[in-house]
Amino acid sequence: MADSSWLSEVPQLSRGELRDIRKFLDTEYRDFSREYGEIIEGFFDPLLSFLVWFEKLLLATPWWLVIAIIAGLAYLSSRSWKLSLGVVISFFMIGYFGMWDDTMRTMSIILVCTLMAIALGVPIGIAMARSDRVQSVVTPLLDIMQTMPAFVYLIPVVMLLGIGKIPGVIAVVIYAIPPVIRLTNLGIRLVDKDVLEAATAYGASSLQRLIGVQLPLAMPTIMAGINQTIMMALSMVVIASMIGVKGLGQPVLKSITNQYFTLGLLNGLAIVALAIIFDRVSQAYAKRSQRYLEGMDNG
Amino acid sequence: MVEAKINKTEPVALIKIEGLYKLFGNNPKKFMPLVHAGKSKDEILAETGHTLGLKDINLTINKGEIFVIMGLSGSGKSTLIRHFNRLIDPTEGVIEVEGTDVMKLPQKELELFRRHKMSMVFQRFGLLPHKSVVDNVAYGLAIQGVSKSERGAKAKEWLETVGLAGYEEQYPAQLSGGQQQRVGLARALCTDAEILLMDEAFSALDPLIRSEMQDQLIELQQKLHKTIIFITHDLDEALRIGDRIAILKDGEMVQQGEPEDILLNPANDYVEAFVRDVNRARALTVETVMKDPVNRITADTIGEALKQMKGFKGDYGYYVNEDGYQGVLTEEKLQAAYDDDNKAKLTSAHCEALDAISQDAVLETVIPDTLNSQYSLPVIDDQGEMTGQLSRSTLAEVLGNEEPRNR
Ligand SMILES: Nc1ncnc2c1ncn2[C@@H]1O[C@H](COP(=O)(O)OP(=O)(O)O)[C@@H](O)[C@H]1O
Ligand SMILES: [Mg+2]
């Protein structure tokens, strides 16, 4: 007990021990991915075919039709001529500077990722809102997902599924899903207790309460979560391109390695343009669907 | 201002509550022995961190009556009313509605029970902010699965009844508080549920709107004959609309009875404190304070009449024949007539005119007559029968201890 070096130095595993642990875990995981990689890939096959199909569809559609559809959607959801005009100009510029195909690829993957994040995130958020236990399990997971550097969870995904679209989608979804989950949970928990009690008093079942009261009233918050998710998905584009996701991220990556400033800037601007369009359109839509909130303060 | 009295036929018990206890906290069952041992709410809170919400509540609510539950804030009114439709589960006790033990209903049947048996109006309205006014009113029917067109039509009718025709497509946030509560009331009526639970439904409204709503409720009740459980912290409101009143204090029932009972015979200081601020002249009817009609004279001859008059205090009496009350007789006049002719028949010609007052009149309206008359005023019922008499001193006594304003 005379040895008091533990006071001045951090107690530490020996190198050998550390190496053994790493080796053990890595081999175990490698074996696991060899064994089950195929099966898991097979599981994602339908998603992959959908991704490929959707990308092809966007690429095969004439440019003016794509612009018209997006501008039309922007107008429908926001009823703003300015926004629609902005959409037309931005997309025209994107095409004019030779980034059309990459933009379509990025858009297709972002749309799919967002839809997946919503399809998974909203139910998880609902489950969290309904049970404190689920919430206490999921919250730390979300904290990890949001703070763990994306590169770290890219490694096992790539080991398991190789390089390509599917691992890209998984990485993007992992990175972008926390806001939908958190804000769905928050939105439902913040629903006015009095209103919910009224629904219960009139005999609403828990499903009727969820669909008729909680989700509609939580919608502004959920929409804010979806908006955040889209933004985060877009910001993952460059990292995802490192594992073979085609789109606007790849030219950016190329310009970093080759120091092409202008190429990087243009593609960066295209990502920004997409982000702004998605953001404005989804926010305008959220606002318009909450018209009943108008005049809330003269009650 | 005449209070509507529901025909006092044989009361039929609709809701029965027996030995109801509610202890709020994590482990209420464990600490129930303390409650039964008679510890106070404060002691239990200090010792266990549990809040005693209700303690040994027993009551029966009859079909067709307006039963008012009254008490200060925190006395457990909302807790109690939420037991009727089991928005809150009791820690102990029995809740029966039309013979059904509500506690034994499984979830699905409980939902059906809530849909069809009871509807509720809330202090803060509890309207669905994202639905239009008409959809709010139709909400109960929507939950029941009634078709859209049918429930829309019904909701429109009820909106009209509460005076909100034309507001169908507005959203609740666009209405004033009073209008929102009318929507709440229409929503409750729209399901045709027999029992109406109203938790401080009018408390959040301005005094003027509030009294309008009270009138509307009374008027509707005369048509609909619902069973209404009405919560308020305001005794004036309770007296105005209640057929019976129960008073809660710290989760305990301190008094139950008809409004006059509570007003005239408060059970303890707590009730008395409530009662002190009430304007009795407005709250009480003549019937509740009048004395027995002892000065009644029913004789055929003047001689008999004089004899009857000697039998009671005072030198006057009220002549009553088979047609009811006729007028007032004074000893002086009778004596003179007797001296004239001691066999003479007694007729209304011997009377002095004196207007009788109705037993259903509110005291306030008879104060001037009572004070101006040198006699006690005779009180008659609808048929003109004399049922009592009201003296200046009775009036002064009843109204006088209302407030120490003479000191
Ligand atoms: N969910 C609850 N948990 C703990 N205590 C509660 C709860 N609901 C009510 N109480 C307590 O029960 C008592 C009665 O409350 P309440 O029924 O709301 O009173 P009132 O409606 O008469 O103002 C209060 O002391 C309140 O703090
Ligand atoms: Mg209350």
Same domain membership, residue B346 and residue B244: no
The last residue of a domain, from among B213, B244, B278: B278
Whether complex ipTM tops 0.90: no
Q: Determine the pLDDT at residue B62.
A: 95
Give the closest-approach CA distance of A125 to chain B in angstroms.
21
Cβ contact A299–B113 (<8 Å): no
Please list every residue in chain A whose beta carbon sits closer than 8 Å to the beta carbon of residue B118. Answer: 201
Secondary-structure breakdown of chain A: helix, strand, coil percentages, each rounded to the nearest 5: 85, 0, 15
B162 and B186 Cβ atoms separated by less than 8 Å: yes
What is the Cα–Cα distance from A78 to A289, expressed in whole angstroms? 10
Please tell me which residue of chain B has the smallest CA distance to A215. Answer: B130
φ, ψ of residue B243 to 5 degrees: the values are -85, -35
**B166 located within any domain:** no
Considering only CB atoms, A201 lies closest to which of B120, B124, B173, namely: B120
User: Looking at the complex, does the CB of residue B78 fall below 8 Å from at least one CB of chain A?
Assistant: no
If asked whether residues B103 and B199 sit together in one domain, one would say yes
Q: B328 pairs with which residues across the strands?
A: B318, B352
Pairing status of strand B324-330 against strand B195-199: unpaired
Residue B179 in any domain: the answer is no
Judging contacts by C-beta atoms under 8 Å, the chain A residues touching residue B139 are 199, 202
Task: Measure the CA–CA gap between B44 and A191, rounded to whole angstroms.
Answer: 32
Considering the domain architecture, whether residues B49 and B87 belong to the same structural domain is answered as yes
Helix (H) or strand (E) holding B121: strand B118-121
Verify that B295 and B362 share a domain, yes or no.
Answer: yes
Shortest-distance atom of ligand 1 to CA B72? 22
Q: Is residue B154 part of a domain?
A: no
- Nearest residue of A to residue B135, measured between CA atoms: A212
Q: Does B342 touch chain A (CB under 8 A)?
A: no
Asked if residue B68 and residue B25 are part of one domain, the reply reads yes
**B205 Cα to the center of ligand 1, angstroms:** 22
Residue B159 lies in a domain: no
Q: Does residue B140 belong to any structural domain of this protein?
A: no
Instruction: Please indicate, yes or no, if residue B77 is contained in any of the structural domains.
Output: yes
Residue with tokens 């009073």: B178
Domain count, chain B: 2
**Count of helices and strands (H, E) across chain A:** 15, 0
Closest CA to B52 of B253, B270, B250: B250
- Report pLDDT digits (tens) over B6-18: 455 678 999 999 9
> Measuring CA to CA, how many Å separate B368 from each of A124, B304, B373, B377, B395?
73, 33, 9, 11, 11
Verify that B271 and B296 share a domain, yes or no.
no
Domain with B387 in it: what CATH number?
3.10.580.10
Contact B129 A199 (CB under 8 A): no
Domain co-membership, B370 together with B268: no
Token couple for A236: 């993952």
Specify the pTM: 0.81
Return residues 8-67 of B near A (CB < 8 Å). none
Ligand 1: residue of B78, B80, B253 to mutate (most ligand atoms within 8 A of CB) is B78
* B75 CA: nearest ligand 1 atom: 22
Tens digit of pLDDT per residue, chain B (407 long)?
A: 444 444 556 789 999 999 999 999 999 999 999 999 999 999 999 999 999 999 999 999 999 999 999 999 999 999 999 999 999 999 999 999 999 999 999 999 999 999 999 999 999 999 999 999 999 999 999 999 999 999 999 999 999 999 999 999 999 999 999 999 999 999 999 999 999 999 999 999 999 999 999 999 999 999 999 999 999 998 889 988 999 999 999 999 999 999 888 888 889 998 888 888 777 887 888 888 898 888 888 888 888 888 888 888 778 888 888 888 888 888 888 888 888 887 788 888 888 888 889 888 888 888 888 888 888 889 998 888 888 999 888 888 888 764 443 33
Long-range contacts of the stretch B174-181 (C-beta < 8 A, 24+): B174/A295, B174/A298, B174/A299, B175/A299, B175/B133, B176/A299, B177/A299, B177/B125, B177/B204, B177/B205, B177/B206, B177/B209, B178/B205, B178/B206, B178/B209, B178/B212, B178/B213, B180/A299, B180/B125, B180/B127, B181/B121, B181/B125, B181/B205, B181/B213
Which of A190, A194, A202, A206 is the best mutation test for B, with the most CBs of B within 10 A? A202
Shortest distance between the Cα of A293 and any Cα of chain B, in A, equals 7
For residues B113 and B39, membership in a common domain is answered with yes
Helix axis angle for A81-96 and A100-130, nearest 10°, is 130
Same domain, B265 and B305: no
CB B94 within 8 A of CB B16: yes
Verify whether ligand 1 is closer than 6 Å to residue B45 (CB atom).
no
Mutate which of B79, B80, B233, B252 to test ligand 1's pocket (most atoms within 8 Å of Cβ)? B79
Are B243 and B390 found together in one domain?
no
Identify any residues that bridge with B52 across adjacent strands, giving them in sequence order: B23
Does a structural domain hold residue B227?
Answer: yes
Atom of ligand 1 nearest to the CA of B199: 21
In this structure, the answer to whether residues B225 and B371 fall within a common structural domain is no
Contact B140, B115 (CB under 8 A): yes
- Residue found under tokens 């929503």: B187
Q: What CATH number has the domain bearing residue B81? A: 3.40.50.300
Please give the C-alpha separations between residue B35 and each of A30, B51, B83, B254, in angstroms, as whole numbers: 63, 11, 19, 17
Residue B147 lies in a domain: no
Residue where one domain finishes, among candidates B278, B302, B335: B278
Report the atom number in ligand 1 closest to the C-alpha of B71: 22
Question: What parts of chain A have a pLDDT lower than 70?
Answer: 1-3, 293-299
- Chain A residues whose CB is inside 8 A of the B172 CB are 299
Instruction: Choose the final residue of a domain: B229, B254, B278.
Output: B278
Cα–Cα dist B302/B323, whole Å: 18
User: How many A/B residue pairs have CB atoms within 8 Å?
Assistant: 83
What residues make up the domain containing B302? 287-399
Which pLDDT value is given to residue A293? 67
Alpha-carbon span B53 to B75, nearest angstrom: 8
What is the C-alpha separation between A50 and A112, in angstroms, rounded?
Answer: 9
The DSSP H or E segment spanning A239 is helix A237-241
Residue nearest to atom 3 of ligand 1 (CA): B24
CA-based nearest residue in chain B for residue A194? B126
Same domain for B318 and B266 = no
Alpha-carbon distance of A2 to A14, in angstroms, equals 21
Nearest residue (CA) to ligand 1, atom 6: B24
- Asked if A199 lies within 8 A of B180 by C-beta distance, the reply is no
- Domains of chain A with CATH codes: 43-289 (1.10.3720.10)
- Residue range B100-126, pLDDT digits in tens: 999 999 999 999 999 999 999 999 999
Q: Which of A198, A204, A213 sits opposite B122 (nearest CB)?
A: A198
Q: What burial class does residue A5 get, using C-beta atoms within 10 Å of its C-beta: 0-12 exposed, 13-18 middle, 19+ buried?
A: exposed
